[in-house]
């Protein structure tokens, strides 16, 4: 894949000259979404986003895993803080999606997949003091209900002592049609 990318890149650089634009997002917005490959390009099209409009923060599941929620020391909060304090972000959208892979993790297939790649899940659980395969799934950010997960992530961001009081909304995008559903529109006064 690397060679394929490098080859394409040579052509791109030869043929395209993207305009130089500022690094601060034009729409003063940060959007948290999932790393799902089906969102590539479709996500921006469905939301009407152009290069330079918003910060896009992608994590597996558009989530913050449970162990990381408690201490607020997670990378998502750090990135949003950078957006707010360094790049003028004043609004945050958390957008989960239907059919998210993190709703489909089960302990048996996770164990099998790890073992097939030479990682012993049982040894890892002991070594890291996790206690059980469920805790390992929690570490990965597994959840059952995308709407509920979006709501929880919105709450974690709203309550973060590292962030000022700015609107944080929650939505879900249909991975097949691109349709957005609002889960929580932030009506708190800024």
Question: CB 34 → Zn ion: shortest distance, Å?
Answer: 3
| Closer residue to Zn ion (CB): 30 or 100 | 100
How far apart, in whole angstroms, are the C-alpha atoms of residue 119 and residue 178?
36
Does the footprint of Zn ion cover residue 137 (CB under 5 A)? no
Residue 37 annotated as part of some ligand binding site = no
Stretch that binds Zn ion, among 28-36, 50-58, 79-87, 121-129 (CB under 5 A): 28-36
34 near Zn ion (CB under 5 A):
yes
Q: Which of residues 75-114 bind Zn ion (CB under 5 A)?
A: 100
Q: Tell me which residue of 151, 42, 60, 68 sits closest to 101, measured CA to CA.
A: 60
* Residue 128 CA to its chain's centroid (Å): 25
* Interface pick for Zn ion out of 29, 30, 33, 36 (rule CB under 5 A): 36
Smallest gap from Cβ 158 to Zn ion, in A, equals: 22
* Nearest approach, Cβ of residue 61 and Zn ion (Å): 5
Using CB under 5 A, which residues numbered 149 to 178 contact Zn ion? Answer: none
- Contact in structure between 58 and 153 (CB atoms under 8 Å): no
- 185 by DSSP, 3-state: which? coil
CB 36 within 8 A of CB 101: yes
**Backbone φ/ψ region at 91: left (φ over 0), alpha (ψ -120 to 50), beta:** beta
State the DSSP H helix or E strand holding residue 186, giving kind and residue range, or none if neither: none
| CB closer to Zn ion out of 39 and 89 | 39
Q: Is 97 annotated as a binding residue?
A: yes
Residue 84 or 157 having the CB closest to Zn ion: 157
What is the biggest distance separating any 2 CA atoms in the chain, rounded to whole angstroms?
Answer: 54
Distance CA 25, CA 117 (A): 40
CB of 121 to Zn ion, least distance (A): 22
Query: Can you say which residues are annotated as belonging to the binding site for Zn(2+)?
Result: 34, 36, 97, 100
- Site residues, Zn ion (CB under 5 A): 34, 36, 100
């Amino acid at each position: 894949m690397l060679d394929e990318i490098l080859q394409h890149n040579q052509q791109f650089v030869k043929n395209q000259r993207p305009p130089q634009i500022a690094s601060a997002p034009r729409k003063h917005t940060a959007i948290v979404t999932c790393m799902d490959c089906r969102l590539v390009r479709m996500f921006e099209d469905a939301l009407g986003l152009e290069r330079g409009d918003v910060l896009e923060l992608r994590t597996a599941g558009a989530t913050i895993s449970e162990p990381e929620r408690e201490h607020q020391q997670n990378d998502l909060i750090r990135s949003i803080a950078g957006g707010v304090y360094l790049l003028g972000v004043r609004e945050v959208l958390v957008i989960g999606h239907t059919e998210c892979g993190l709703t489909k993790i089960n302990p048996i297939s996770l164990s099998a997949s790890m073992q097939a790649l030479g990682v012993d899940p049982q040894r890892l659980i002991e070594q890291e003091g996790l206690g059980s395969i469920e805790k390992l799934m929690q570490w990965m950010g597994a959840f059952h209900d995308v709407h509920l997960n979006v709501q929880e992530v919105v709450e974690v961001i709203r309550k973060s002592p590292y962030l000022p009081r700015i609107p944080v909304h929650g939505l879900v995008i249909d991975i097949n049609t691109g349709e957005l559903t609002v889960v929580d529109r932030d009506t708190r006064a800024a």
